[in-house]
Structure 1
């Protein structure tokens, strides 16, 4: 395909209806692989033979989420595919939590030496490593179905985060060039994550570790390497050894839920002085009182509340969802300490369309609130903005989007 033909396609593609002219889009993809991706890969040391073996028969996967054909306009999807951003109660369904913890205790015994070695080297507790491993791949038992090159090729070419996925595709080619993956192991999630720790390719290149001493970092077949790699990732993202991830708390009614967020931290002793207490009458550990803590209310006033430490946000570096980080911390505690469910239950919240939440976010932005972007995801900036908006209206802040708010905040 000539460059002139490509230019014409760029003009025409915005007018193409979804599902039409996919043959032309596929031709454009082939040209993009040759003219754009190959020079980038070659500059990173990828050989032509490796490139052709990986992408010579590449096809687009039109079933992946968040796709935007070249020239088309991106929009916030109506539905939300990722469970990390759905209903909190569903994310913490008992069988998922209990199963991850029960198998985690078995794995703790089976891999005690590898876990202890990783903790000595990084300061990251074994229970946290186990909880991530369990959540990401069911301790290596979950089928990872997709062809990694097809996924990342598609998303690099036509997704809402094309630049990011292009970098990850080049990193995947570097992995292939170096021969890191066993034969047939280049499978991924729908987002392109690899192996038992579900590392993106760039994370593999930066953080994969050799835990069994065989000179390789094999996150596909080696449990010891998987453990060492997860611990290394967290340590390199500034895990603070000796500190916990957080504590479930009771927040008095006179303490606003709008105080949530990592930019509103204060010593845990100060939170305690405001009347925030641990559930069950437990005291905060003495060594934690002088450390900084942050209020975290993932469902606003409709669910459990927490005072979390900087380590909670290290867990969010692994997956940017509050619920994910909370799941990992909670399951880790259940693995190590046999803890039960949260003291507070999850209210009937969540389940809104992302497009509905994005509409509310735009309404809040119009009123001068910083919601962190109208992406349809109810992060802490959106939650506390709702609380501040409610307070301005003379309402009791609850700090979570509800369907009945659409009329006041929608377009």
Structure 2
């Protein structure tokens, strides 16, 4: 009897594996057909048949990538989507900042001539450019793990943002066609960003700079090209010369944290008169006080508060994450001087991303939130939570907590 059961199990397993293999072969045949269908678009973009064939010959999809929508399988989440909401103290880790700031100071001296020339040409401080390089690839120490063409083709075929990655795939072929990078050297992150300073291929096409004058835009091996390209991208997105990214302030006890959204913008002097005082007794000039700024409280009423300028949002165009901008901005400041934030992070309790997403859905139903359901406690989510806390008679701290979750569930 046991032998019969064992034989039946093996037969079922063989059948399952055979079926899985058939599905995989069918999917891969569909992938091959999809890649072939991209040739006319690549040709119109100026890619030669030789480049297209050499880049795609034997190409197979990578179904282990995150952020894919595979038929018959659960959606794969992005690795940045942690199980728990990432609090600032976990992202802007002091140990990482100290290490990267020390290395940044060394590189500031080593590449002073190049960085000075970049700053003079583009108006972006050397420390900001170094901070981006440090955050993106640990100053080039982090080896990008994926085959660029394979990643972009897979994301274009079964990713969540197919149209975007279709364009990135064509843009990558154009980089190979132009001789800026070889097929072998086009290594990327899982999301398709490449080079020392992590550009998507289309962004490199728009903002790349041949700063070392060798006739190629090489952000994979040329430090001048990579850093100048990052500066050019910031400039093209609106960077204002001579303007800081943010000012750390101490918020007054009666501050309304629901004002912490980009839409609420006031001159810095007006914020100061309302009690948002620059830390460490810093005195701002009349020109600085005239600059418009928004309030940022990354942990709600807890932890540091900032008045963010237009340049804050320009860095956010490089990577659409408030924690990313905080990391880059603070690392830039620490390369210039060694002072940490004046107000420490509060080490806020973490909620699961699924709980924050449930909050976002509830807030949407109430008409308080109209942004992405991403399970992240971003600016708009925090402001909407504060508005809900006001209406529910709860403590207004603009932070996702068990108390808020229980109140929502009870209703």
TM, length-normalised to structure 1: 0.90
Q: Distance in 1 between matches of 2:159 and 2:78?
A: 16
Pair 1:130-2:127 in alignment: no
Change (3 A) 1:58 1:83: farther
Contact 1:115 1:126 in 2 (8 A): yes
Q: Does 1:288 align with 2:266?
A: no
Deviates more, 1:54-63 or 1:227-236: 54-63
Q: Which residue of 2 aligns with 1:68?
A: 69
Residue 371 of structure 2: aligned partner: 372
Contact 1:295 1:307 in 2 (8 A): yes
CA contact (8 A) 2:386 2:399 kept: yes
Please list the CA deviations of residues 176-214 of structure 1 after superposition, one character each: whole Å capped at 9, or x if unmatched: 111111563110011111110110001111111021122
Q: How does 1:64-213 map to 2 (within 5 A)?
A: 64-69=65-70, 77=77, 80-81=80-81, 86-182=86-182, 184-213=184-213
Q: Match of 2:25? A: 23
- Partner of 1:239 in structure 2? 239
Query: 1:295 is paired with a residue of what secondary structure?
Result: strand
Secondary structure at the residue paired with 1:342? coil
Q: What do you get for the CA RMSD once the two structures are aligned? A: 2.4
SS of equivalent residue, structure 2 residue 46: coil
Using the alignment, how far apart are the partners of 2:212 and 2:115 within structure 1? Answer: 11
Q: CA deviation at 1:162?
A: 1.4
What is the DSSP-based 3-state SS (H/G/I as helix, E as strand, rest coil) of the residue aligned with 1:300? strand
Q: CA deviation at 1:312?
A: 0.2
- Assess, with a 3 A threshold, how the Cα gap between structure 1 residues 260 and 287 changes in structure 2: closer, same or farther: same
- 1:407 corresponds to 2:409: no
- What secondary structure does 2:247 align onto? strand
- What is aligned with 1:11? none
| Matched position secondary structure for 2:248 | strand
**Distance of 1:291 and 1:83 partners within structure 2:** 39
The CA deviation at 1:151 is 1.0
CA distance in 2, matches of 1:351, 1:51: 47
Residues matched between the structures, number:
392
2:12 alignment partner in structure 1: none
Equivalent position SS for 2:307:
strand
The alpha-carbon deviation at position 354 of structure 1 amounts to: 2.9
CA shift at 1:18, angstroms? 10
| Distance change (3 Å), C-alpha of 1:125 and 1:245 | same
1:299 alignment partner, SS class:
strand
| Equivalent-residue separation in structure 2 for 1:82 and 1:177 (angstroms) | 38
Q: Secondary structure at the match of 2:356?
A: helix
Q: Is the 8 A contact 2:146 2:188 kept in 1?
A: yes
Distance 1:161 1:262, change over 3 A: same
Contact 1:76 1:358 in 2 (8 A): no
Structure 1 pair 275/178, CA: closer, same or farther in 2 (3 Å)? same
Q: How far apart are 1:405 and its partner, in Å?
A: 2.8
The alpha-carbon deviation at position 365 of structure 1 amounts to 0.5
Contact 2:51 2:177 in 1 (8 A): yes
Q: Would the aligned equivalents of 1:84 and 1:321 in 2 still touch at CA under 8 Å? A: no
Q: CA deviation at 1:278?
A: 1.1
- The aligned counterpart of 2:16 is none
Structure 1: how far apart are the matches of 2:49 and 2:406?
A: 57
Q: Secondary structure at the match of 1:212?
A: coil
Kindly tell me: are residues 73 and 167 of structure 1, through their superposed partners in 2, closer, same or farther at Cα, counting changes over 3 Å?
A: farther
* In structure 1, C-alpha distance between the alignment counterparts of 2:223 and 2:59, rounded to whole Å: 31
- 8 Å contact from structure 1 (residues 364, 409) kept in 2: no
Q: Distance in 1 between matches of 2:313 and 2:132?
A: 14
Deviation per residue, 1:220-240 (Å, 9 max, x gap): 111111121111111001001
For residues 153 and 263 of structure 1, the distance between their equivalents in structure 2, rounded to whole angstroms, comes to 37
Deviation at 1:84, TM superposition (A): 12
Structure whose alpha-carbon radius of gyration is higher: 2
Give the CA deviation at 1:80: 4.4
Q: Compute the displacement of 1:407 (Å).
A: 3.2
Give the distance between the partners of 1:84 and 1:40, measured in 2 at CA: 41
Output the CA distance in 1 between the equivalents of 2:76 and 2:146: 24
Distance in 2 (alpha carbons) for counterparts of 1:22 and 1:408: 47
8 Å CA contact 2:66, 2:76 repeated in 1: no
Is 1:225 the counterpart of 2:225? The answer is yes
Q: Distance in 2 between matches of 1:84 and 1:68?
A: 22
Residue in structure 2 matched with residue 215 of structure 1 by the alignment:
215
Partner of 1:393: 392
Q: Unmatched 5+ residue regions in structure 1?
A: 1-16
CA distance in 1, matches of 2:106, 2:240: 26
